[in-house]
Amino acid sequence: MGKDKLRKFAEVATFKNVVQLDAGKEYKGQWASKFFGNDKPVVLELACGKGEYTVNLAKLFPDKNFIGIDYKGNRIWRGAKTALEEGIDNVGFLRIQIETILEHFEENEISEIWITFPDPQPQDSREKKRLTNPKFLERYKFILKDDGIMHLKTDSDFFFNYSVEQIDLLKLTKFKQTTDLYHSDLVDEVLSIKTYYERKYLAIDKSINYVQWTFKK
């Protein structure tokens, strides 16, 4: 591991807005009250990377709490540091494997979940790793409130088509769907937030896919 990554790992361990691994279990069912010190809705961003979406959502919606989840601490470092420097206190980061999400959140605890530009895991052998695999969807449904909302933004046409297929197989309600977000009438202040990877894809004229759905039938 390079010196810069080691430095970020060491620094992120000192950040008050970052919770790592098993330490997150003590907040299960109490993220709003115990971690944020309020009773506002809690929104997750899965595979948050550098945390751009998490931080910018927190800026737009001070009446909600936001938690970015990723396993790579050197990536989380960027978003967490920005939030601390700018005094954004309705944002936190949790460093865990998303497979363990049920160990950290209680049933009906979460209001919204964003999945932004995850690894599409295109190999058949890695289907179980796709963040919209039925097993993952079951976990999200458990921790979401009854009227909770799911969002997916991705440049991967393969992953988008796979995800929409899973949503349709489960006969879930889709509110919004497009295969070219920035040339659609769906784009707004929220969907215009761009991650590091999204900017790279847009620079080569790659269209962005988006779908919003709920588990409530």
pLDDT at residue 36 greater than cutoff 90: yes
pLDDT at residue 1 greater than cutoff 70: no
Quick: pLDDT tens for 61-85: 999 999 999 998 888 999 999 999 9
pLDDT at residue 126 greater than cutoff 90: yes
Per-residue pLDDT averaged across 33-55, rounded? 96
pLDDT at residue 39 greater than cutoff 90: yes
**Active site (annotated) includes residue 63:** no
**Measured between alpha carbons, how far is 2 from 16 in angstroms, rounded to an integer?**
24
Note the pLDDT of residue 157: 97
pLDDT at residue 10 greater than cutoff 90: no
Structure tokens at 91: 């944002």
Q: Catalytic: which of 4, 119, 168, 180?
A: 119
Q: Which of 7-11, 61-65, 84-88, 122-126 is the least confident region?
A: 7-11
Structure tokens at 211: 């779908």
**Which pairs from 55-62 meet CB under 8 Å and 24+ separation?**
55/79, 55/82, 55/83, 55/86, 55/88, 55/91, 56/193, 57/114, 57/190, 57/193, 58/83, 58/88, 58/90, 58/91, 59/88, 60/189, 60/190, 60/193, 61/90, 62/90
The pLDDT-based confidence of 197 (bands split at 50, 70, 90) is: confident
CATH number of the domain within which 182 lies:
3.40.50.150
User: What's the pTM?
Assistant: 0.95
Strand ranges (DSSP E) for the chain?
A: 18-20, 42-46, 65-70, 91-95, 110-116, 144-154, 173-178, 209-214
Note the pLDDT of residue 77: 94
Closest CA to 69 of 27, 116, 107: 116
Q: Which domain holds residue 95?
A: 3-214
**Number of structural domains the chain divides into:** 1
